[in-house]
Amino acid sequence: MYIPAINQLTDLAEIIQFIQKYSFGSIITMVHGKPVATQLPFVSQLVDNKIILRAHFAKANEQWKQIVDQENLFIFQEPHAYISPRHYEKEQNVPTWNYISVHLYGKARLVQTQEEAQGILEESIEFFEKEYKTQWDGLSEAYKSNMIQGIVAFEVVISEIQAKKKISQNRSKKEQEQIAQALSQSTLSHEQQIAEYMKKN
């Protein structure tokens, strides 16, 4: 990913917080020379300054067969906003786009046991809907086992991070404030979120 120095995001705590907030990411893998993507909900954590991702494929999705022997690309992105030149002090300007995106690279390890696969599922339940855990616990072991046999769970220790936060850092303080104010009044949630990032920056 092209990242000018002014837009580079290097704070691991901020990166993992972003991934956890916008956790529905894409895994992109080369399959017979062609890039293939699947969108998945990921659970992530920071361990010894390394990002760990966990998720699962439907077994019928054969992309999982390709993710062990090569580096995969994982993309997490969500808030974005069109930036009109009307917010700039000089007329001689053009529109642009503000956004945040995290690209991660790493080889996957496929989960080999039903117990570990169930552990990843339950970790996902805990993260995405803790209240569902009671219902999950009440399901029969036969039903759970049948469900788990239909998935392929995996874990990735990330080897490379490329993170970009483009939120008008190259503009004057006054322009940044005008942009953030305008976006905060938008009816679009993703534009409001960019405004919040700008105000915190």
pLDDT tens by residue, 27-52 = 999 988 899 999 999 999 999 999 99
The tens digit of pLDDT for each residue in 80-108 reads 999 999 888 887 789 999 999 999 999 99
CATH number of 5-200: 2.30.110.10
Q: CA-CA distance, 163 to 166, in Å (whole number)?
A: 10
Q: Residues with Cβ < 8 Å from 44, sequence gap 6 or more? A: 16, 19, 20, 23, 51, 52, 53, 54
pTM of the model: 0.93
